Copies of this chain bind each other. A is one copy, B any other.
Amino acid sequence: MLSKAKIKFIKSLQVKKYRKQEQCFVVQGAKSVQELLASDFEVTLVLGTADFFRQLNRPVQAETLEVTEKELTDLSEFQTNDSALAVARLKPNDPTQIPPNTFGIVLDDIRDPGNLGTIIRTADWFGITHIIASEETADFYNPKVISATMGSFARVEIYYTNLQHYLSKTSLPVFGAYLDGKDVHKTDFGSGGFILIGNESRGISDALEQFVTNKITIPRYGQAESLNAAIATAVICDNLVRSKK
């Protein structure tokens, strides 16, 4: 039986202020909870249906509680979550160093949680494990972000920082998408560096342009004015891995 205090606590974690205060976040859905349990996150609570726990073939180092589908649905923001939910501790916001000869993705104010989650999922597909985000970027631990990552939140590191400061310290190339850059199909990305993705409305901010060493462009064949930020990230990543083949 789920106590009222637990229900209140879990629901409070939908709000960033309480996530910060409690240093905890919520993961919803069987697949995402399984990815969480397989990761290095410190899990504090797992709620699941009898079925979920029966099928779970790993020990859980956390408080566990068997609940009904109805209890889960009532707790969840997403209708589809009817088998598991977990609470885990936030990771410290430690400065990220991308490993040698790899790429990191730098996010300049990606505001939409769905876009951020999709970018994390896409990065994970293309083997990119480090994201550096401006402080105005959506919160990694927002339930909509976690959900849109489809489990990839467990494998991708994010570091929130002042991007001007961060990029001023690197000697690695910084690739940024502009409308007048070099054709991404003809770009040699080299062995490592950063892919800088601009804000959904205004693109890469003027203050960061000075750090872009390589302006690139996704060739356009039609009339759309721009691409969605997550879409642009994916097309650039695909060209990046292709150029390294």
CB of A212 within 8 Å of the partner chain: no
Nearest-neighbor residue (CB-CB) of A244 within chain B? B221
CB of A238 within 8 Å of the partner chain: yes
Q: Which residues of B contact A126 (CB under 8 A)?
A: 220-222
Q: Is the CB of A219 within 8 A of B241?
A: yes
Q: Is the CB of B151 within 8 A of A225?
A: yes
Q: Is the CB of B124 within 8 A of A185?
A: no
Binds B, one of A3-11, A170-178, A229-237: A229-237
Q: Is the CB of A224 within 8 A of B124?
A: yes
Taking the nearest CB of chain B, how far is it from the CB of A7, in angstroms? 28
**Which residues 138-185 of A have a CB within 8 angstroms of B?**
148, 150-152, 155, 185
Q: Is the CB of A228 within 8 A of B155?
A: no
- In the complex, A150→B218 CA distance in Å? 18
CB of A245 within 8 Å of the partner chain: yes
- In the complex, A222→B241 CA distance in Å? 11
- In the complex, A118→B235 CA distance in Å? 14
- In the complex, A223→B151 CA distance in Å? 10
CB of A121 within 8 Å of the partner chain: yes
Partner of A124, one of B121, B223, B230, B239: B223
The 8 A-B residue pairs with the shortest CB-CB distance in the complex, in nearest-first order: A127-B221, A127-B222, A124-B224, A125-B224, A231-B234, A124-B222, A235-B238, A152-B224
A: residues with CB less than 8 A from B are 114, 118, 121-129, 148, 150-152, 155, 185, 218-228, 230-231, 234-235, 238-239, 241-242, 245
